[in-house]
Structure 1
Amino acid sequence: MAALQTNGSVLTRLLWARGLRAFADGYVSLLLPVYLIGLGMSAFEVGIITTGTLLGSGALSLLVGLHAGRLRFRSWLLLACALMAATGIAFALASDFWPLLVIAVVGTLNPSSGDVSVFLPLEHALLADTVEDNRRTGFFARYNVVGSIVAALGALMAGLPQVLSALLHVDGLTALRCMFLLYAVLGMACALVYRGLPALRKTEEGRGKAPLRKSKRTAYTLAALFSLDAFGGGFVVQSMFALWLFDRFQLSPMATGTIFFWTGLVSAVSYLAAAWISGRFGLVNTMVFTHLPSSLLLILIPFAPTLPWALLLLIARSALSQMDVPTRSSYVMAITPPEERAAAASVTSVPRSLAAAASPALAGYMLTLSTFGWPLIAAGACKIVYDLLLYFRFRHIRPPEEQARSPRNHLIPGR
């Protein structure tokens, strides 16, 4: 009974922290390009700084994942919260390109609608250790539902600087800086949530040993595939997608925030659908056969003749594009030994930052040449290739709960 109560407390606190961070990411990802353009930067410079945020997050996530056994998970999470608070304060104070780029690289800003931060591998490992195999995908879906819904609410806050500017009679840049200070406050609030976690164990591996051994081959293969998906996704991280909407349809931050609010709600529903679909058709099938049509829809968006058609395609894509998120996380944790999960989560999630890091700069350069939407086409093409490679490489590698339902026992390479 005590163990159940402890597990329930861990899950509740992880969901609260995920929600707080998602709220911050929801508005920061939309206001980041607005703030940088307000400082006089070009679309290419916005892309460079966005690249810096992804590159730094990926490197830090990899470092933490590979050394997760040196400190307890709670200690790592508290350190990450301190960095989040410092990032918000520093970004609010800086105005020049180079200082902002340095802060973007070493800080925790997230230009994406999903979670690509240093918190990710730690929370995934804790979540997987806390629930049973047959409930794991459902809890990952709930974790992502919370993130999506609260990020959608955060997106609505993208219009708050405009309201603050009018009510308080301050200039737009000052109002935007207040939003980055709010980001710092939310980082401190996350620390209060994490402080209540029990003194969770370190990873079971001793110091100085390689974190990945049994699952090394499988994790690296998945990491390579996720790199391709991440590279494609980098062309359309929320900050760059918002910049395209600003340029193509002359939308305001408030209108763009409303759009991403609705797409976030649609994505939240899709997370729940993903848990149900994966229970019937398997994790890999769910990942691939929902992701493929969403990539095709992404390619079609630039060809939309009017804003309503573009929004229709965007919402349709949102209903499918995120179903691979909880299923992917659950799949990685399922085929990895418990003692290696923090390292595997880091090694397979880091490509969502590192491989994506080059794409925003390329997207920014494309947008300086044309508002047509070439970054969206490039993203869709990369993602289609990823889907096909993932299916043909991993369709026969099943997690324990699927093996239990199947009369055939599928071997997992590298384990």
Structure 2
Amino acid sequence: MQQIRPATFLFAARALRDMGDGFVAILLPVYLLALGFAPLQVGIIATASLLGSALMTIAAGLLGARHDHRQLLLAAASLMVATGVALAVVHDYALLLVIAFAGTINPSAGSVSVFVPLEHAVLTREVTDAARTKMFARYSLVGALAGAVGALASATPDLLAPAGFDQLTGIKAMFVLYAFLGLLGGLLYARIPQRRPASDSGTASALGPSRNIVFKLAALFSLDAFAGGFVVQSLLALWLFETFDLSLSEAGFFFFWSGVLSAFSFPVAAWLSRHIGLINTMVFTHIPSSIALMLAALAPTLPLALVLLLIRAALSQMDVPTRSSYVMAVVTEAERAAAASFTSVPRSLAAAASPALAGALFAASFRAWPLLICGALKIIYDLLLLMQFRHLKPPEER
């Protein structure tokens, strides 16, 4: 029973964090536009956020090999509290850039943050190889459902309007709620038992026998993330706002159902991986989702675009638990925190470049191009992943 407790606390903490990310990703572009900033500036904020996340994630991976994961998670939760409070009181664009870079705001649909490598390392200790993918599927399911609820909560500022609160005040209140969720997450992390790192030696700092595998995966994941950066949730919301004049409430409703579909794809991914393998599950669900995204970019009407985006949502995240499980399976225990970090960081760095490019395309009225570029690059990534890793099997598939 004691072994299940750390996973339970991590699941609950992730739920709180992803709920906050769910409404911040939608409210952030609305907030910045309301303050008078242009779409290009919104893209630059998203870039700064992802770049800062990348640097903090690599620090977490390096420190995670030598230090107690609980303490590092508590520090990250404290940063989340500070980020929410700062967003609620700052209007200056330069300061907002600093907050985006140094804080924990997440403009993407998935959980890309300093928390991830630490949580992955803790979770992997709790299960056998055979149960690992199912564990990550549940972990992703909890996060996606919470993110969907958060997306629905993004309509709160509009709901507060009849009570006399203007939209800007309502959004600031949601940023304060984000800080409160970080505080609750910290209380949950405090319940995780202290655990000595797998090794106290200097070699635990990073990668040993699995170095080449991790570097190859990191390079491929970077291509995937660079592509995904063109349609992080904040920018997809911006595309819907500007292309179809979607309201904040309508956007929240759409992203709620998008998150629900993503959430229930995770257990399906775990089931599918047992039958066709982790790599095949990653590739053969991802390609159709990219095709749906490209078709959505060309859709002439809002209903058709939304249907195609929902099809994408039902497929595009099935590689999340399988990817996490695969990385943890093909490295040694001592390398897990570093491997999670080194495969997450290049993703964040690569994803950091594309939102600004997408913002520039929006500003130039090439609104469909970010979605088309994303879909094409992701298909290339999937084919390369299949070619490079179809023969490297995790222990449960050998």
Same fold (TM over 0.5): yes
In 1, are the aligned partners of 2:138 and 2:266 still within 8 Å (CA)? yes
User: Which residue among 147, 159, 163 is the counterpart of 1:163?
Assistant: 159
User: Which residue among 112, 115, 128 is the counterpart of 1:116?
Assistant: 112
Give the match for residue 47 of structure 2: 51
Give the match for residue 224 of structure 2: 229
CA RMSD of aligned residues (A): 1.0
Give 5+ residue unaligned stretches, structure 1.
404-415
Give the match for residue 75 of structure 1: 71
The question of 1:189 aligning with 2:145 is answered: no
CA shift digits 1:119-178 (9 cap, x unpaired): 0000011111111000000010000001111110110011101122331x2322121111
In 2, are the aligned partners of 1:205 and 1:211 still within 8 Å (CA)? no
Where do residues 189-228 of structure 1 align in structure 2 (5 Å cutoff)?
189-207=184-202, 210-228=205-223
The question of 1:314 aligning with 2:348 is answered: no
How much does 1:70 deviate? 3.3
Give the match for residue 390 of structure 1: 385
The question of 1:126 aligning with 2:122 is answered: yes
How much does 1:210 deviate? 4.1
The question of 1:9 aligning with 2:5 is answered: yes
CA distance in 2, matches of 1:144, 1:194: 18
The question of 1:258 aligning with 2:257 is answered: no
Give 5+ residue unaligned stretches, structure 2.
none
The question of 1:94 aligning with 2:90 is answered: yes
CA distance in 2, matches of 1:263, 1:110: 17
Partner AA of 1:122 in structure 2: L
In 1, are the aligned partners of 2:154 and 2:248 still within 8 Å (CA)? yes
CA distance in 2, matches of 1:358, 1:61: 17
In 2, are the aligned partners of 1:68 and 1:203 still within 8 Å (CA)? no
CA distance in 2, matches of 1:69, 1:203: 7
Give the match for residue 290 of structure 1: 285
CA distance in 2, matches of 1:159, 1:294: 27
How much does 1:208 deviate? 6.9
Structure 1 residue runs of 4 or more that deviate by more than 2 Å after TM superposition: 207-210
How much does 1:7 deviate? 1.5
Count of residue correspondences: 398
| Secondary structure of 2:121 counterpart | helix
| Secondary structure of 1:138 counterpart | helix
In 2, are the aligned partners of 1:58 and 1:117 still within 8 Å (CA)? yes
CA distance in 2, matches of 1:304, 1:165: 33
Give the match for residue 408 of structure 1: none
| Secondary structure of 2:313 counterpart | helix
- Using the size of structure 2 for normalisation, the TM-score is 0.98
- Using the size of structure 1 for normalisation, the TM-score is 0.94
Partner AA of 1:45 in structure 2: Q
How much does 1:220 deviate? 0.7
Give the match for residue 26 of structure 2: 30
Farther-moved stretch of structure 1 (364-373 vs 305-314) = 364-373
In 1, are the aligned partners of 2:204 and 2:334 still within 8 Å (CA)? no
CA distance in 2, matches of 1:59, 1:160: 32
| Secondary structure of 1:235 counterpart | helix
The question of 1:327 aligning with 2:311 is answered: no
Identity %: 54
